């Protein structure tokens, strides 16, 4: 069972969330150390993590790991690997289950940290924390299942075994947009298989990783199994990826950075005796197709939730609505009315749409909006909204009458910007949906079984949904990962995900 969502319409739950926000507010601005081999370290350089709703408010002050720290972290992880790789699968799984229970008991507190560090409203924060718990429990149980793997055939006169053994030391480089769930899932999957890791969280969300590190230590994680090292990608990150002892790199983030990591990892270094494995989850340019026979009210709700949840800052977010001509005008009008009801403001006050992550992201989105005004008609939004606290807010923005080959319809914007495209037929809709280098998520709203069956084979994405939104993948139910430039289709939260962090060893003994 997936962790249940919290109903914040219940006054008791809302009061508890406000209390959690108050409690966490008293802990903002604390300084966090690097943790290498269980030792705390400070550096001359610092990383300031700030609240995107109130940029003057420091959430956490972190050390900045440099290239030299990569060697230290690698040495600590290699030492820990010697014993951790030989630790029983049940003991490693128990660590994850203990961490899951701690987070479950402190769920609202972790929600509050997410609200302050990356600007998630209450429901988005709850989903992030719930997914964290799901990942920890799912991977713990999958590790136990993997430990019991059997060969398909026992050859006569032999005892045959199939062992899934850990790879070694890995670099875990998670994103800022799911700074607890994705970060914890990537880390947990690696260590539950017996690997040790160097964790380099995003500089926009290192505090969530520091809090997770505290949970792992509380659960009894041995020193050096996870080494907490915030740092810049161009110094520490490059040194880590290129290190000859790095066995694998697990990355979630942009296409540009993912491809650079893939290229750097592919270059064999002196003393390197393996081909480094890369597990890459990258971007998306996701589409929801709305057919003429669809329930329009449901389609509008699904598009709005997918496009503007967490200000569109999800690789799974709907950034294109592809609508069949007979219902195009009605859909556009209902969409305009629904978007107008969204509120923009501080996520601590639980507005529908909060800030985007930083000033650089906001500037990029405004650049795309300028392009959109040349490629389509602005239906809603389009403006940055200033606040007294200086937050990085952008109105939910909708462009209509966009062509499938427009910049707005092809490039990932990663913000609350939606392009609406009119098509003449379902065949044209599928062609438009596939007209991108990405292939992550997609959805179709239709009551026609033939259309849904055709989409099942012809809509080329890793996660496809019918008559529901294209965000909100649930661990176990919707293994997550995409095609093409969306990554290596690694299927996080799926039964085969742990195989990426192991290598199979066949043992045959003559009787």
State the DSSP string of 61-107.
EEE-B-HHHHHHHHHHHHHHHHHHTTS-HHHHHHHHHHHHHHHHHTH
Active site residue 131: no
Catalytic residue among 281, 324, 395, 412: 281
Give all strands (DSSP E) within 203-290, no chain letters. 226-228, 246-252, 277-281, 286-290
Residues 6+ apart with CB under 8 A from 148: none
SS3 content of the chain, % helix, strand, coil (to 5): 40, 25, 35
Catalytic residue among 111, 229, 315, 318: 315
Q: Using an 8 Å Cβ cutoff, are 292 and 327 in contact?
A: yes
Q: Using an 8 Å Cβ cutoff, are 458 and 450 in contact?
A: no
Q: Which of 197, 175, 190, 73 is nearest to 143 (CA)?
A: 190
Q: Helices (DSSP H) in 376-433: which residue ranges?
A: 407-410, 426-433
**Which residue, chain included where needed, has tokens 């299942």?**
145
**Which residue, chain included where needed, has tokens 């606290």?**
389
Active site residue 333: no
Round to whole Å and give the CA distance between 194 and 147.
11
Q: Using an 8 Å Cβ cutoff, are 342 and 352 in contact?
A: yes
Residues 6+ apart with CB under 8 A from 481: 281, 440, 462, 463, 487, 488, 489, 490, 491, 492, 494
Catalytic site positions: 281, 315
């Amino acid at each position: 069972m997936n962790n249940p969502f919290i109903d914040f319409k219940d006054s008791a739950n809302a009061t508890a969330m406000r209390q959690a926000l108050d409690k966490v507010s008293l802990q903002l601005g604390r300084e966090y150390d690097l943790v290498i081999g269980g030792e705390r370290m400070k550096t001359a350089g610092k990383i300031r993590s700030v609240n995107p709703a109130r940029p003057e408010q420091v959430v956490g002050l972190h050390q900045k790991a440099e290239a030299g720290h990569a060697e230290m972290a690698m040495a600590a992880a290699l030492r820990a690997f010697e014993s951790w790789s030989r630790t029983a699968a049940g003991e490693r799984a128990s660590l994850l289950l203990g961490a899951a229970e701690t987070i479950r008991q402190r769920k609202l507190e972790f929600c509050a940290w997410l609200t302050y560090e990356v600007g998630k409203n209450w429901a988005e924060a709850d989903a992030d924390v719930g997914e964290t718990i799901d990942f920890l429990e799912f991977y713990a149980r999958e590790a136990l299942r993997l430990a019991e793997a059997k060969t398909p055939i026992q050859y006569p006169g032999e005892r045959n075994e199939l062992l899934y053994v850990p790879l070694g030391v890995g670099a875990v480089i998670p994103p800022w947009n799911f700074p607890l769930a994705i970060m914890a899932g990537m880390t947990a999957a690696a260590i539950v298989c017996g690997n040790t890791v160097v964790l380099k969280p995003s500089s926009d969300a290192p505090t969530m990783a520091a809090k997770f590190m505290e949970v792992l230590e509380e659960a009894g994680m041995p020193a050096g199994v996870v080494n907490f090292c915030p740092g810049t990608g161009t110094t520490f990150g490059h040194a880590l990826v290129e290190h000859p002892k790095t066995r694998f790199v697990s990355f979630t983030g942009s296409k540009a950075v993912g491809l650079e990591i893939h290229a750097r990892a592919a270059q064999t270094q002196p003393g390197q005796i393996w081909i480094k494995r890369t597990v890459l989850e990258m971007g998306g340019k996701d589409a929801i197709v709305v057919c003429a026979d669809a329930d329009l009210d449901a389609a509008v709700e699904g598009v709005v939730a997918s496009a503007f949840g967490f200000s569109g800052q999800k690789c799974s977010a709907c950034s294109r609505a592809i609508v069949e001509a007979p219902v195009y005008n009605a859909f556009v009008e209902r969409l305009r009315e629904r978007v107008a009801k969204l509120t923009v403001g501080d996520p601590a006050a639980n507005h529908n749409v909060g800030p985007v992550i930083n000033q650089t992201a906001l500037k990029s989105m405004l650049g795309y909006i300028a392009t959109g005004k040349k490629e389509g008609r602005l239906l809603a939004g389009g403006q940055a909204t200033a606040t007294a606290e200086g937050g990085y807010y952008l109105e939910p923005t909708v462009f209509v009458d966009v062509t499938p080959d427009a910049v707005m319809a092809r490039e990932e914007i990663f913000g609350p910007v939606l392009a609406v495209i009119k098509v003449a037929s379902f065949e044209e809709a599928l062609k438009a949906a596939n007209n991108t280098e990405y292939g992550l998520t997609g959805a179709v709203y239709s009551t026609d079984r033939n259309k849904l069956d055709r989409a099942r084979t012809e809509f080329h994405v890793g996660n496809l949904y019918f008559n529901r939104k294209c965000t909100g993948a649930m661990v176990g139910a919707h293994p997550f990962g995409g095609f093409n430039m969306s990554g290596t289709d690694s299927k996080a939260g799926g039964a085969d995900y742990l195989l990426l962090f192991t290598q199979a060893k066949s043992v045959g003994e003559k009787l």
